[in-house]
Structure 1
């Protein structure tokens, strides 16, 4: 699981980015190394960003997400409908970001298991307060960083389909494709499926 990962506020600059992950996976399929992928994306602006200054920060994170996916999941993202890609991308985010995984596992999973579909601002506040008490480094993060993370978490949930609309914050239960469930279970990662309410 994600225990070996340290808490990070990295998601403030690299939220869902499913389109970007697909671009990286296409380059991986062509046999490019991680260094070559990074170089090509930055030099050729593969993501087609108007401002490319953020690429140096974003690309390593996307490559890291791509690298936690086995070949089957990579193929599923590239060949399946968008909804399947969203779930696999969310799985990759959880695999590479310990704090976000814990948020999914401790807040979203518990709400879905209790059939409580209202995600309130206080749920995020309580989560971050508890984490700040448990981790000295996280406890020193600025209010600005924490607020940005809360916004990014909500944005990721919305883009992954876990929130119906941005204003109401009503949670949605995701229907999982059997192939995704089988593959993630085969990889020994059922904790991530449970964190998504499966």
Structure 2
């Protein structure tokens, strides 16, 4: 990763949010800066949420995800098929959340490399335990925090298309669009393709 992100629990309050990402990209295309985007999202309820508190919590996260995307990726989110948008959104989440990237890289990628297509709570628990042994900050999190993160991770896997059956925990390799793969390779982010389990880079 370009710079070392701090470990955080921000994902406990948000989720996949692809629709919301598309909305903020459109606002930027309309000429708004990040501060104006956040303000417009909240003041005009761009996401059509029931509670303003949800808008205030989520708007900064979505803007951060948008900021890690270059112009090509932003355009692809809006114009390419849904599956491509999902892959780019997953990439943005990994770019903005260190722990989730490490989960994808150390758990999902490794499972797919050995053709292990099932994930369960034990896998995530072992990941958290390992991280807690390495990082005092993570070790200080409550069991409730771990439970929330576990729920969010499963949700992110499902909405991205990696987890295809919640009950059995069956996962699959994402089918990454060739143009998207080439672009991410060219900007030096092949590690994120590998973490997503892209079959072309795992070979």
Q: Report the TM-score, using the length of structure 1 for normalisation.
A: 0.98
Question: Could you tell me which residue of structure 2 aligns to residue 166 of structure 1?
Answer: 166
Q: Does 1:150 align with 2:121?
A: no
Distance 1:169 1:3 in 2: 32
The CA distance in 2 between the partners of 1:3 and 1:31, in whole Å, is 28
Q: Is the 8 A contact 1:3 1:98 kept in 2?
A: no
State how far apart, in whole Å, the 1-side matches of 2:2 and 2:128 are: 18
- Aligned partner of 1:135 in structure 2 is 135
C-alpha distance in structure 2 between counterparts of 1:187 and 1:55, whole Å: 32
Whole-angstrom distance in 2 between the partners of 1:173 and 1:181: 14
Match of 1:175 in 2: 175
Query: d(CA) in 2 for partners of 1:71 and 1:168?
Result: 38
Give runs of aligned pairs for residues 43-122 of structure 1, distance below 5 A.
43-122=43-122
Q: Alpha-carbon deviations, 1:136-172, whole Å to 9, x = none?
A: 0110000000000000000000000001122111001
Specify the SS of the correspondent of 1:103.
Answer: helix
Q: How far off is 1:3 after superposition?
A: 5.1
Does the residue aligned with 1:116 lie in a helix, a strand or coil?
coil
Structure 1 residue 4: deviation in Å?
Answer: 1.0
Distance 1:174 1:10 in 2: 25
- Decide whether the 8 Å contact of 1:119 with 1:170 is kept in 2: yes
Give the total of aligned pairs: 198
Residue 8 (structure 1) aligns with = 8
User: 1:2, 1:96 within 8 Å by CA — same for their partners in 2?
Assistant: no
| Residues 2 and 97, structure 1, Cα contact 8 Å, conserved in 2 | no
Where does structure 2 lack aligned partners over 5 or more consecutive residues? 199-203
How far 1:179 moved relative to its partner?
Answer: 0.8
> 1:2: Cα distance to partner?
5.8
Over 2 Å off, 4+ runs:
none
- Alpha-carbon offset, residue 23 of structure 1: 0.3
**Bigger relative CO (Cα 8 Å, ≥ 6 apart):** 1
Q: Give the alignment's Cα RMSD to 1 decimal.
A: 0.8
